[in-house]
Amino acid sequence: MQTLTLDNGLRIVVDHRPGQVVYCGIAVGAGTRDELPEESGMAHFIEHMSFKGTERRRAWHIINSMEAVGGDLNAYTGKEHTVYYCTCLRQHLRRAIDLLFDITLHSTYPQRELEKEVEVVIDEIESYNDSPSELIYDDFEALVFPNHPLGRNILGQADRLRQYSSADLHRFADRLYHPSRMVLFVLGDVGPISARGGLLADIKAADQELRIKKEELRINREDDKLRIKKEELRINSLPLNSSFPVRVHKSTHQAHVIVGTRSCSISDPRYMSLYLLNNLLGGPGMSSRLNMSLRERRGLVYTVESSLTGYTDTGLWTTYFGCDHADVDRCLRLVHNELDRLCQSPLSPNVLSAAKRQLKGQVTLAWENGENVAISMGRRLLHQNATQTLQEFCDEIDDLTAPRLLTVAQETFSPQHLATLIYE
């Protein structure tokens, strides 16, 4: 894996993998938490509008650019980043890079397209509101991160979105969409970054305007550090409503329940321990402890899962299940029983060895998905300024010990640390 930082601050990461297919994209350090209070939903709306026209392309040309050669172009928005990514044949990499830089740095956000696209986004919001199993996650984040940008809904609010103009989008992009906040990631058979006629030549050919003053770059980075430092202090002082479940009445066939808490950041040394514990509890395997307890042994739920989200300065751990209204309290007791087991005694050598083996196998299989791996390495360089190979990841798992896992479990899963949200 190779990395390079250009004078303008653009970071590049390349992983070499043989084959005809190349995965590439641009990760931008502009997400929901970067919105000002009056910019609710702006990061996600910018993502949509970046496909609606640039200085050189109209919307149709953007859509057709990769599809015409059998490729694919897509994007998504998170709390701390927006990612634009392409899958294409190796010979069309320059076309993909040119398109990616064009939509991230030269979008025009035309007003006529904005007025149409806002209704598309509002339909997306309404569709989301119709799915309580998804909506409850947003409401839980608002509960855990009250009055903080991380607790804000990514999609925004319909009435606010309808007020945005093209000028509003340009102000947001001018503030956050520049090379010093971007990572270009490429996975495929592309050769060394700086090889003659190679990737670096493609980048320069794609966009001759990827230059900003070094002083401007320094100021932008110092502003980012100051913003993050202020928000860290606010996160650490946020109240966590763990004294009783928060209940919200919903006219749904099932009850929907989330139990969770703020957790460590993605750079925290404890993160890998929590990653393994989360997989043991409610990962994708049918043998996870929560699935065995609630579904396989008792048939109380169809879905029970746990998830871990790492941010640059904090994190979020949750477990979710849906059940009959009459079974909520019983399911909650069973969830807390499994959490208590992890808090009361260390994992036995056999259990720990099996948990490590399972997680390494899952990750190794997932590593075959080139698109996910490419996006992951772009996000990692963006937020942690680091790279990690599959072997390094597995080595981290192997280094975990039962006492360390017990400490992390007690810090995360003890009842006084947990909040509960119930849709009933």
| 381 belongs to a structural domain | yes
| 405 belongs to a structural domain | yes
Q: Are residues 260 and 363 in the same domain?
A: yes
**CA-based max dimension of the chain:** 68
What is the predicted pLDDT for the residue at 330?
97
What is the predicted pLDDT for the residue at 341?
96
User: What is the rounded average pLDDT of the residues 203-208?
Assistant: 66
Counting the structural domains of the chain, the total is: 2
CB 346 within 8 A of CB 403: yes
DSSP structural state of residue 41? T
What is the predicted pLDDT for the residue at 44?
98
| 215 belongs to a structural domain | yes
What is the predicted pLDDT for the residue at 392?
96
CB 204 within 8 A of CB 6: no
Which tens digit of pLDDT belongs to each residue from 260-285?
999 999 999 999 999 999 999 999 98
Structure tokens at 239: 């109240």
Of 319, 407, 372, the C-alpha closest to 137 is 319
User: What is the rounded average pLDDT of the residues 345-363?
Assistant: 97
| 61 belongs to a structural domain | yes
Full residue range of the structural domain in which residue 359 is found: 246-423
What is the predicted pLDDT for the residue at 404?
98
Q: Are residues 314 and 210 in the same domain?
A: no
| 52 belongs to a structural domain | yes
pTM for this entry: 0.91
Residues 6+ apart with CB under 8 A from 103: 50, 51, 54, 62, 84
Is the confidence at residue 377, as pLDDT, over 90? yes
| 284 belongs to a structural domain | yes
Write the DSSP assignment of 206-262 as a string of letters: H-TT----HHHHHHHHHHHHHHHHHHHHHHHT-----SS-EEE----SSEEEEEEEE
Residues 6+ apart with CB under 8 A from 159: none
With a pLDDT cut of 70, the percent of the chain lying above it is 90
Rounded to whole angstroms, how far apart are CA atoms 349 and 63?
A: 53
Q: Are residues 192 and 133 in the same domain?
A: yes
- CB environment 91-111: b (16+ within 10 A), e (fewer): ebbebbbbbbbbbbbbbbbbe
What is the predicted pLDDT for the residue at 191?
80
Q: Are residues 284 and 217 in the same domain?
A: no
What is the predicted pLDDT for the residue at 233?
44
Of 28, 32, 266, the C-alpha closest to 142 is 32
Q: Are residues 102 and 26 in the same domain?
A: yes
Residues 6+ apart with CB under 8 A from 310: 263, 264, 265, 266, 267, 268, 271
Q: Are residues 385 and 357 in the same domain?
A: yes
User: What is the rounded average pLDDT of the residues 196-223?
Assistant: 56
Last residue of a domain, one of 158, 191, 226: 226
| Top-confidence residue, 221 or 106 | 106
Q: Are residues 204 and 269 in the same domain?
A: no
Is the confidence at residue 343, as pLDDT, over 60? yes
Q: Are residues 285 and 355 in the same domain?
A: yes
Residue whose tokens read 């956000």: 109
Is the confidence at residue 420, as pLDDT, over 60? yes
Q: Are residues 414 and 328 in the same domain?
A: yes
Which tens digit of pLDDT belongs to each residue from 15-66?
999 999 999 999 999 999 999 989 999 999 999 999 999 999 999 999 999 9
Last residue of a domain, one of 226, 261, 290: 226
Q: Are residues 202 and 274 in the same domain?
A: no
Is the confidence at residue 231, as pLDDT, over 60? no
Last residue of a domain, one of 192, 226, 260: 226
What is the predicted pLDDT for the residue at 135?
94
How does residue 362 score in pLDDT terms, banded at 50, 70 and 90?
A: very high
- Of 66-75, 248-257, 349-358, least confident by mean pLDDT is 248-257
| 235 belongs to a structural domain | no
Is the confidence at residue 388, as pLDDT, over 60? yes
Residues 6+ apart with CB under 8 A from 288: 279, 280, 281, 282, 306
Kindly tell me the burial class for residue 128, based on how many C-beta atoms sit within 10 Å of its own C-beta (0-12, 13-18, 19 or more). Answer: middle
Which tens digit of pLDDT belongs to each residue from 290-334?
999 999 999 999 999 999 999 999 999 999 999 999 999 999 999
| 237 belongs to a structural domain | no
Q: Are residues 138 and 62 in the same domain?
A: yes
Q: Are residues 30 and 160 in the same domain?
A: yes
CATH of the domain at 197: 3.30.830.10
